[in-house]
């Protein structure tokens, strides 16, 4: 591993979902940082690569105003990470799907110190990611079906999440249809993080939603500690 994944709530900031809810995506970046979320992953599947690059550079600029800001991760696009860095933006990593650039190639291009996550829910995908020796964390899901990613695989449920966490020697982040009520069961399943999209991006008050996620995760952590 080359970078440490910040544990806890993790925002997949989908620009389209934000705008459909009437939010400027950059304002949602601010909300996530103010609330104390550990990671912001930028996703703009309905935009061209230039739009994602512009969003990445702008989001990185917003985060320079915070002390200890969230890690900024780009969804899928290693080229966007490289281009944004060439423009002077601080981009911490990339999250890769099974059809994206292989993690080994991403590591060669991005170097050490870059956070690399890989989506892996099937046993063979988990094992393949572990064998690379270059992946920092796994994204497991969808836990439930979600309208924000209609092409996602079949839901794995909390039992499937627990199996990925058991099988993995890397930190696991749960994703897929999750809300604030899922913080404790996700932690009990063995995940170190919980990624959300609509729970913040589509919420009428993104800052309030992000703050409640952070509080719910802290409560779940406290409950887990007292039970051990």
Q: What's the structural domain count of the chain?
A: 1
Is 198 known to sit in a ligand binding site?
yes
Q: How do residues 196-205 score in pLDDT, each as one tens digit?
A: 999 999 999 9
Is 64 known to sit in a ligand binding site?
no
- Residue 152 pLDDT: 67
Is 45 known to sit in a ligand binding site?
yes
* 23 falls within a domain: yes
Q: What is the CATH number of the domain that holds 100?
A: 3.20.20.70
Please provide the DSSP assignment of 146-196 as one string: -TT-TT-----HHHHHHHHHHH-SS-EEEESS--GGGHHHHHHTT-SEEEE
Is 26 known to sit in a ligand binding site?
no
Is 44 known to sit in a ligand binding site?
yes
153 pLDDT band, cuts 50/70/90, is: confident
What range defines the domain where residue 53 resides? Answer: 8-227
* 3 falls within a domain: no
- In the predicted model, is pLDDT for residue 9 greater than 70? yes
């Amino acid at each position: 591993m080359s970078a440490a994944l910040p544990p806890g709530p993790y925002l997949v900031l989908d620009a389209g979902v934000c705008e459909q809810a009437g939010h400027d995506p950059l304002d949602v970046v601010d909300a996530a940082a103010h609330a104390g979320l550990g990671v912001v992953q930028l996703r703009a599947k309905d935009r061209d690569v230039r739009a994602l690059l512009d969003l990445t550079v702008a989001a990185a600029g917003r985060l320079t105003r915070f002390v200890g800001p969230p890690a900024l991760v780009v969804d899928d696009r290693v080229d966007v990470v490289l281009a944004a860095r060439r423009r002077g933006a601080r981009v911490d990593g990339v999250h890769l799907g099974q059809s994206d650039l292989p993690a080994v190639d991403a590591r060669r291009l991005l170097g050490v110190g870059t956070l690399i996550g890989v989506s892996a829910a099937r046993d063979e995908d988990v094992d393949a990611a572990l064998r690379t020796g270059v992946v920092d964390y796994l994204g497991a899901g969808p836990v439930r079906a979600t309208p924000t990613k209609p092409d996602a695989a079949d839901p794995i449920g909390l039992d499937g999440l627990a199996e990925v966490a058991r099988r993995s020697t890397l930190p696991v982040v749960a994703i897929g249809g999750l809300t604030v009520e899922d913080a404790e069961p996700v932690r009990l399943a063995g995940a170190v993080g919980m990624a959300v999209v609509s729970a913040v991006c589509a919420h009428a008050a993104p800052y309030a939603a992000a703050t409640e996620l952070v509080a719910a995760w802290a409560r779940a952590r406290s409950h887990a500690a007292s039970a051990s």
